[in-house]
Amino acid sequence: MGFNSQILFYFFFFIASLDFIQETNASEYNESRLLMKGCNLFQGKWVFDPSYPFYLPSKCPFVDPEFDCHGRPDKQYLKYAWKPDACSLPRFNGASFLGKWRGKKIMFVGDSLSLNMWESLVCMIHASVPNSKTTYVRRDPLSFVNFEQYGVTLYVYRTPYFVDIVREKMGLY
């Protein structure tokens, strides 16, 4: 099995294990399921929320400058949250997230969109536990942040393609 195949296997294993991991705290899991039951997450609107954003990209040590909108001066666009019509979404809690994922590894695989999601999650967690000791290793194509107190490591593997490009002669020559 090639390296890319292994990464895809682990990615799909990660997705499949989400239910199991969420159920580790059954009462919280059941409460959130009751809140979401019958809720169409796709029907709603953007509402102004002065408590947003969770973090300022310019203050997060894990954000590339190009993901900070190149220092865009207006910040009002960051103060909007998605509000479904029929329910309330639970607010992200980084300390709780780290507690649930204690001792685990999480990997994002993909292009700049995956990198953006990884940076956002790492920054939201970092803002929730700003004094938590971290190890940050930036290498191409694999980078990671480890939240040492919790034993949680978030990896990002940058690749523009999920499959290898193999050049071969096809057809009549």
User: Looking at beta carbons, which pairs linking 24-33 to residues 24 or more positions away fall under 8 Å?
Assistant: 24/100, 25/100, 32/90
Q: Which pLDDT does position 121 carry in this prediction?
A: 97
pTM, full prediction: 0.71
Tokens of 124: 């939201």
Residue type, 140: D
Q: What does 29-82 look like in DSSP terms, one character per residue?
A: HHHHHHHHTT--TTSEEEEE-TT--SS-GGG-TT--GGGGGGG-S--GGGGEEE
C-beta of residue 151 within 8 angstroms of C-beta of residue 101:
no
Q: Does the pLDDT of residue 154 top 70, yes or no?
A: yes
Q: Which pLDDT does position 29 carry in this prediction?
A: 53
pLDDT band per the 50, 70, 90 thresholds, residue 50: very high
Q: Which pLDDT does position 81 carry in this prediction?
A: 94
- pLDDT tens figures, 86-129: 998 889 999 999 999 999 999 999 998 999 999 999 999 999 99
Q: Residue range 146-154: average pLDDT?
A: 98
Q: Which pLDDT does position 21 carry in this prediction?
A: 43
